[in-house]
Structure 1
Amino acid sequence: MRFPRNTRVRVALAVGATALGLVASAGSAYAAPAVRTASVAPAVAPQDAASTCTDTSSEDGNIAGCMAAARAMQWVDANGGQGVIYNQGDGTSGFGDYRADCSGFVSYALHISDTSPTPGGLVSGQMYESNGFVDVAKDNLQQGDVLTNPSAGSQGHVVMFDHWSDSSHTAYWGFEQHGPSGSYGTAYRLITYPYDDPNAGTFYPQHYTKLVPPTPPPAQTPAETAASSTLVHDGYTSVYTVDASNGHLQETYLPKMGGSWATQDLSNNYGTPAVLAGTQPVAIYHDGYTSVYTVDASNHHVQETYLPKMGGSWATQDLTANYGTPATSVTPTTVLHQDWLSVYTIDQSNGHLQETYLPKLGGPWYSKDLAATDGAPASANIKPVSIMHGGYTSVYTVDAGTGHVRESYIAALGQNWVTQDFTAKYGTPATTVAPTVAVHQGWTSVYTLDSNGDLQETYLSAIGQPWYSKDLVPQSGTPAASLNTAPIALFHGGYTSVYTVNASNGHLEESYFSQLGSPWTSQDLSAKYGTPNPTGAIDALVHPDANQNMVYASVYSIDSGSNQLQETYLAAIGQAWRSQSLSVGYGTPTASVI
């Protein structure tokens, strides 16, 4: 996610005879490489990776990676954003006694005492192990780790790692202080691994032992959030789309808040079949795995593309061929409930609601027809939505014959499924659009659009209580919504929001309330904050800031004018929404669906 702040990228193109940010011991005179250039040029300037991280570190104490980045950014922003002037003399940085060279810079960033081992901080690469650094595998580098050239007698340099710029780990964003002496030397830039100057010697990745591991991310795909094409997993935010040109499954991902988005083609890289037109990817995080479910365009089989762990390799499998999941022409849904993973689909041959489930990671999947067991009528070719609430598992579908909204549910694993007709029992209007669901402050609400596009809420205050239904338009003023786009509900920062597309002008609309019992309000996000008119599906996500607080809310859409992937985001309740094109900024291919 990009912050509005204009963080600068500075790359020195020429270095004279003065040292290039050397990791030099006192009295050493090392030759510098003649030229240093960035061999990978960023298309978009990176943003401050630490702009929402508070530095609470102490000298020579434990420090979080985001705090090290925050401290490094102080040098980047010095002198009106020009950086700190390079100088190897002690106390020349303007930040205490730290030298204004590469080692002084890294020492300051990691809050290593400026008197240990000498004023200015670290001295030579070969001394790093005695100063709390150990070797680390390339793929295990984390924010705050370093890459160092430990040469003595000729040259030396150190840079601080921030984050990988790509899934193949060929380049990374890093902080460094470099010469020549007397020039502004601080940079936050894209670097080819391990270092992009062939004359600078051999660089090795090292880990600072006082670097605190990142805070464990909050629960991914929590019970109160229905699975969708957006996901938080292992601290990453991912948006899965379908490339409009070839149907390939695409992942656009953000390693951490404030970093730079990246994109990859999962079909090209890992063999995911082209996705059936009109269906969407659905992602979930479970037992350390990330799984994305799609429908194969060639045979309508349900496909799982999964990542066993962050940094590993994706794999793909055919759930229809391997485990009997019926072919479908409808987007699936998935839920993690009582440690079981279930994928719900609509059988294209008879409209039956189908469950394909995995009782234990590593074991086989199983598949069964829920319509045969719970008596649910055939479902329309409209995607189902599933949720875990109050210990119950519920799947919401639309009746093929009547358009009635139905709930199929179980109280606990092993019990019989039950089905009920919301329209007949509780007055939920018939619909032709997929429902959306949210669990908020203990209540469960299912949001639908009636035949006029009016936003409807069918809600349950607690398990065992009756459901109720109401038309939200009189209270919220929500304009009639397009029946070509399903609503999306999101619970964020104590607020409940439902996003729709205005039928009259195509604008993205938010209907929200601050807490149960408060009145609903509606606002036009396109008119107020510049979101382009969406086409097709929209999606929404809550994801963490740099301190792993779940405060960011993002709505993802496809620009109807350009088919670009658009993010409209809110950094925190009370702030203004902002909008950006992830296709323009980070290379996401034009998309057919999200």
Structure 2
Amino acid sequence: MPVKGSAIFKIALAATIALSGAVATVAAVPTAAYAAPASSVNGKITRSEILQRAQYWVDQRVPYQQGPGANDSGGRYYERSDCSGYVSMAWHLGSALTTQSLRDVSYELGSFDDLKPGDILNRYDGGRYNIHVVLFAGWTDGTRTTAKVYTESDWGEVAKIAYMSRSALNNGDYRPWRYDNVIDDAVSAPAKPSLGIRGSVIAADGNQVTFTRDAGSGHLQVTYLPPGGGWQTSDLSVLAGTAVSAGGAPAAFVQANGTLGVVTADAANGHLRITYKPANGSWATSDLTNDVGAPVSDGEVTTQVDASGTLSVFSRNSVNGHANLTYLPSSGGWSNFDLTTNVGTAVSAGGAPAAFVQKNGTLGVVTADAANGHLRITYKPANGSWATSDLTNDVGAPVSDGKLGTAVDESGTLSVFSRNSVNGHANLTYLPSSGGWSNFDLTTNVGTAVSAGGAPAAFVQKNGTLGVVTADAANGHLRITYKPVNGSWATSDLTNDVGTPVTDGNVSSVLGNDGTLSVYSRGSANGHLHLTYLPTTGTWATTDMAYQAGTPTLD
């Protein structure tokens, strides 16, 4: 409980985000959905539940007062709604403690860098701890210079989210503390991934675009950054009439004529849906199952545009598991081609097919055989016919759970990143432009953590660096593994090094026209879309797109 009339830090966020020089703005925070509390009074509590409880008082606009107090989301009454009462409620304590007595149920951390969401910052006050306390919600940037906090600050104000610079925390002599009964959230992937490796693209006009699915409504959502503008988000189910989607993650594309689009599966009937926006037109949607006979899908889809301008949509038939191709040439109408029936591609399982186009014009797709987990490649040379081969039998690729990613670098090497279904190792199976296939175990040889969740998100930077982003199965940390064009493979932990929140492994990556590498991930604690990015000149940074753009929570 702070001393009445004491000076309270009221720090406004005045940061800039490196992407396109856009100024960071805080959008209205979506109201959280409040489930019955998972914790008991004074019991173990996850970090995500602490933040959910804190958000409830923000949404209820609970005023600062030292009596009477207010109820939590479950109806439990807390006798004070001052700063320490706020923390007590968020931690689900039995009563409203003071800034001093909060120390009885917590322990001091070594530094600000040890902070995790749900911890607190308590003003030292010469050891008296009798001024002010705030609840830490995370860092807004990779260099950890600005903290996002929940606070009840003073009379006449209400519970709110505020931003405090690291220098203000130091100057105010705040100390980091952790609740004795806090536990980290379990890392688990949602049954329906709402973000995938094909979720992000750079549009013809330079827009950086990411498609996701809203957890609350199932609506298709687009979050985008226009060149020289600020982040925005739109609901395409409302704007264009896109059906509520289910199954796998949205798969984006940009055609040679500048049309931007995304493919999903209708939750009601499995119909393959395409939502698109011509370069100078408006958003529209159509049903590829009704209109062109595309088979019903489980939503595990991917897209690819080849050198001729043909748009290819690879999907898995939800009736028989067949691999299917639905395609639109640059001039002509849509067609369907059953790769299992016509080429012999094995019935597939696991994640979405991973498509690619090689430098020589070969179009292809990689899948996992449902019968044995063998890695399968199905391909068509520019002037040839479709063929398929078993990379596990033929070149020793490890069996896979179907979580796959592909990349073609400047040398023409085709890289297939997969997860070994036996031991979870990250693996690379690659084909140079001249030479034969090889395998490289990234976990054994580089130290890439055993991964979990979604498919690996591969990338090639403008300087030729090849890499892949995954999630650590042990703790959900976002991991990047990379190889400079003339260097050796290396790996680093973006959660430890940059502050990216833990993730369930549903990630995407995209390279901006200015060379900025952007990695999007779904935070496993709160379902927020997070952007972690590396400019061509500069250092890594991270931001929460729920607050940066208003992107709804992902399912």
TM-score under structure 1 length normalisation: 0.59
| SS of the residue 1:380 aligns to | strand
Q: Deviations over 1:352-376 (max 9, x none)?
A: 1111111235x42111211111112
For the 8 Å contact 2:476–2:505, the answer to whether it is kept is: no
Shift of 1:486: 1.6
Runs of 5+ unmatched residues, structure 2 = 1-14, 29-195
For the 8 Å contact 1:393–1:411, the answer to whether it is kept is: yes
Larger radius of gyration: 1
**Greater RCO (Cα-Cα under 8 Å, separation 6 or more):** 2
Counterpart Cα distance in 2 of 1:43 and 1:568? 17
Counterpart Cα distance in 2 of 1:316 and 1:335? 19
| SS of the residue 1:351 aligns to | coil
Change (3 A) 1:4 1:386: closer
Shift of 1:383: 0.8
Counterpart Cα distance in 1 of 2:406 and 2:233? 29
Change (3 A) 1:44 1:367: closer
Q: 1:434-473 alignment to 2 at 5 Å?
A: 434-440=403-409, 441-450=411-420, 451-462=422-433, 465-473=435-443
Letter in 2 for 1:585: Q
For the 8 Å contact 1:329–1:381, the answer to whether it is kept is: no
Q: Which residue of 2 aligns with 1:263?
A: 233
Shift of 1:4: 6.0
Q: 1:219-234 alignment to 2 at 5 Å?
A: 228-233=198-203, 234=205
Q: Which residue of 2 aligns with 1:579?
A: 542
Identity of aligned residues (%): 36
Q: Which residue of 2 aligns with 1:201?
A: none
For the 8 Å contact 2:271–2:290, the answer to whether it is kept is: yes
Please point out which of 416, 420, 424 is paired with 2:389: 420
For the 8 Å contact 1:351–1:381, the answer to whether it is kept is: no
Q: 1:404-553 alignment to 2 at 5 Å?
A: 404-412=374-382, 415-440=384-409, 441-450=411-420, 451-462=422-433, 465-482=435-452, 484-492=453-461, 493-515=463-485, 518-545=487-514, 551-553=515-517
1:335 correspondence with 2:304: yes
Q: Which residue of 2 aligns with 1:155?
A: none
Counterpart Cα distance in 1 of 2:303 and 2:276? 14
1:369 correspondence with 2:383: no
Letter in 2 for 1:249: L
| SS of the residue 1:246 aligns to | coil
Counterpart Cα distance in 1 of 2:498 and 2:407? 25
Shift of 1:382: 2.4
Counterpart Cα distance in 1 of 2:456 and 2:269? 29
1:293 correspondence with 2:263: yes
For the 8 Å contact 2:27–2:550, the answer to whether it is kept is: no
Q: Which residue of 1 aligns with 2:518?
A: 554
Shift of 1:536: 4.5
Q: Which residue of 2 aligns with 1:48?
A: none
Q: 1:165-244 alignment to 2 at 5 Å?
A: 228-233=198-203, 234-244=205-215
Q: Deviations over 1:28-79 (max 9, x none)?
A: xxxxxxxxxxxxxx7469xxxxxxxxxxxxxxxxxxxxxxxxxxxxxxxxxx
1:566 correspondence with 2:523: no
Change (3 A) 1:531 1:347: same
1:402 correspondence with 2:372: yes
Runs of 5+ unmatched residues, structure 1 = 10-41, 46-225, 546-550
For the 8 Å contact 1:386–1:394, the answer to whether it is kept is: yes
Letter in 2 for 1:394: G
Say how many residue pairs are matched: 366
Change (3 A) 1:44 1:341: closer
Change (3 A) 1:424 1:584: same
Letter in 1 for 2:369: D
| SS of the residue 1:535 aligns to | strand
Counterpart Cα distance in 2 of 1:409 and 1:227? 20
For the 8 Å contact 2:219–2:236, the answer to whether it is kept is: yes
For the 8 Å contact 1:447–1:456, the answer to whether it is kept is: yes
| SS of the residue 2:488 aligns to | coil
Shift of 1:307: 0.3
Letter in 2 for 1:444: L
Q: Which residue of 1 aligns with 2:282?
A: 313
Q: Which residue of 2 aligns with 1:379?
A: 348
Q: Which residue of 2 aligns with 1:590?
A: 553
Change (3 A) 1:331 1:590: same
| SS of the residue 1:383 aligns to | strand
Q: Which residue of 2 aligns with 1:280?
A: 249
For the 8 Å contact 2:350–2:403, the answer to whether it is kept is: no
Counterpart Cα distance in 2 of 1:8 and 1:232? 16
Counterpart Cα distance in 2 of 1:385 and 1:300? 20
Shift of 1:475: 2.5
Counterpart Cα distance in 1 of 2:290 and 2:403? 27
Q: Deviations over 1:282-329 (max 9, x none)?
A: 11111221121001100001100010124x310000001111110010
For the 8 Å contact 2:471–2:505, the answer to whether it is kept is: no
